[in-house]
Amino acid sequence: MPCFRRWASRPRCEGDGWLPSFLVSDASVTPVSFIFTFDHRNFYDPDALENGAAEEANRVLKRILIVEDNELHFRLLNDLLEVHSYKILKTEYGREAVKLARNNSPDLILMDIKLPDLSGLDVTRLLKQDDQTKRIPIIAVTAFAMPGDERKALESGCDGYISKPVMIHSFLHTVRRFLSP
Ligand code: MN
């Protein structure tokens, strides 16, 4: 959370989009890990969103499992979701993701594709074959923004697909869409 507030208040945050310079060094998959785009609302104040407190109250108990092996990407998603009152579970391993999903029944899973053990697509297949976990919506969040990746993710059983760089507004919109009652 502190990171986000610091980034959000930086004076460079003008215009349509900007990139925190330290993210550029994180080049394990792509030289540009995330680009933030801002419209003129403040995404860090829940009351500034259109539906305000009522929507916030609906979300209080929603739990999201983030499966992500890149610490920086994890923190970014984590901080953004925590500030919007979601409860976060985390793992960087595919096999552990299967266990966490079975034991905790999260309301939503955000699934990175490239993980140290299993691929996120394989993890998704395992979860969708299991009666205990098959109803949990899974959104693939991946830097592989190549043609056909969305199709592959959906064929593996993912319910949605978000490609990095993650756009904050559409990301939150997609998360809410899968969590609405
Ligand atoms: Mn990864």
Share of the chain above pLDDT 70, in %: 65
CATH of the domain at 126: 3.40.50.2300
Residue 129 belongs to some domain of the structure: yes
Residue 148 belongs to some domain of the structure: yes
Distance 69 CA to ligand 1 centre (A): 5
Q: Please, what is the average pLDDT of the chain?
A: 77
Distance 32 CA to ligand 1 centre (A): 14
Residue 120 belongs to some domain of the structure: yes
* CB burial of residue 92 (10 Å; 0-12, 13-18, 19+): middle
Range of the domain at 147: 62-179
Is pLDDT at 147 greater than 90 in this prediction? no
Distance 8 CA to ligand 1 centre (A): 25
Whole-model pTM over 0.85? no
Residue 52 belongs to some domain of the structure: no
- What confidence tens digit (pLDDT) does each residue in 32-50 have? 344 444 444 444 444 444 5
